[in-house]
Amino acid sequence: MDWRGKVDWRGKVVVVTGASSGVGAETVFMAARRGAIPVLLARNVEKMADISRNIPTEHMVLPLDVSDAFAVERAFAVIHEKYGHIDVLVNNAGFGVFEWFKDMPLHEFSEMMNVNYMGIVHCTKAALPGMLTRGSGHIVNVASVAGKLVTKKAVGYAATKHAVIGFSNALRMELRGTGVGLSTVNPGPIATNFFDRADPSGQYLANLRKMGGVMLTAHQVAEQIFRAVEQKRAEITMPWFAAFGVKVAQLFPRFFERLTERLLDKK
């Protein structure tokens, strides 16, 4: 597959985790509209069935908990048996819990890390050997601005996204010259059901609206996932002002932390 410039998506096998809603579902629809063959992976079978009914083209649906390494191995074996290869893997599955460190139970730290980070490790381990053999393919890891700009009550979640970004940056170096690309997409807050679990009180969303905070849409993030593949981008951080903030924070971390503590403290 030639990843330079515009990509011909027709017939390409695009595997998407967390495909039952939000960014994952929109990525699936976008892949189908481009003529690709989307493979939906998620825990919620009923929601995937609803999405499946709205995809008129060829696709595959497999139930999967990405934190279960053996289940991942079996699911990807089914994909390879059916299609012979994977062209694009979008590691999108994840969730967040916004809570003070002192109040968050240990099991929630573990669960977030197992899904948000180890889920990416499991799926990448399953997809990458075939890509390396073929000398082509692309992996997109959906991380978060929270992996770069931290705030209170996001200790556990931010740690998982730091891990995803670190994993991606190191693996990208290992993949140079192999024909396999790797991108991270780091979105800010997205208007999806993510906040049903992350912020059940609704306080964070209410505070964002009060300050005129702009919420990204799942469609916008999915567009950047495809842009990352088509342009072989190493990293995309969105929206633009978050990307600018990341640059400033990298240059002046402690100053930026003091300057923005109250501004970003909306949880």
Catalytic residues: 157
CA pseudo-torsion sign 154, 96, 245, 248: positive
DSSP code at position 146: G
Longest dimension (CA), the chain: 53
If DSSP codes are grouped into helix, strand and coil, which group holds residue 148? coil
Q: Which residues fall within 8 angstroms of residue 25, CB to CB, at 6 or more apart?
A: 19, 47, 51, 218
Q: Could you give the CA distance from residue 87 to residue 72 in angstroms, rounded to a whole number?
A: 17
The letter for the amino acid at 206 is A
Classify each residue of 151-181 as buried b or exposed e, where b means 16 or more C-beta atoms within 10 Å of its C-beta.
bebbbbbbbbbbbbbebbeebbeebeeeebb
